[in-house]
Amino acid sequence: MNAENTDNTINTDRTATDSNSAQAEEPGFTIVREFAAPRARVWEAWTNPDVMARWFHPETLVTPRESVSVDLRVGGEYTYTMRIPDTGQEFPTAGKYLRIDEPDRLDFTWGSPGEVDEAPRVSIELDELDAGRTRMTFTLTGLPDDSGSDESVYDGWSSAFSELDTELSS
């Protein structure tokens, strides 16, 4: 597998743009990344708990494998817990799968355990550019673009995608 990431560009359009729904007027942002990996490998990174544990966190955190569970079906839920290694502080996270179109699109909620129905929504679209490159379009709806702020969700996902790039390059 080619370990070179040819384009780590983050899209400057940070608004959710689904013109066919009320989501279009909700706060949100979009991040576009290209990975030097086949689409099936990127899909697996989003849906396989063993792989998710290796990247599903910003660069300074970890996600213990035993904290990751996935029930990959529409209406199924997933959980994981991010941890700060030095302090042990934990961030339990959960969501519900809303749409599963393997290997093209995955939609789910993303929030706190027990609040998955009211949580912000994430949409992942995977476009195969060629046999070894995939463009991922990540759209989060329901939270504002908070890039640069303390505890930024935007910056956290962007950092996690650097972890994903490392995972896909290994």
Report long-range pairs for 47-51 (Cβ below 8 Å, ≥24 apart). 47/72, 47/102, 47/106, 51/167
pLDDT by residue (tens digit) across 59-81?
Answer: 999 999 999 999 999 999 999 99
Q: Find the mean pLDDT for residues 69-97.
A: 98
Whether the predicted pLDDT of 14 surpasses 70:
no
Banded model confidence at residue 124, pLDDT cuts 50, 70, 90: very high
Output 34 or 148, whichever has higher pLDDT.
Answer: 34
Lowest pLDDT segment from 6-20, 22-36, 124-138 = 6-20
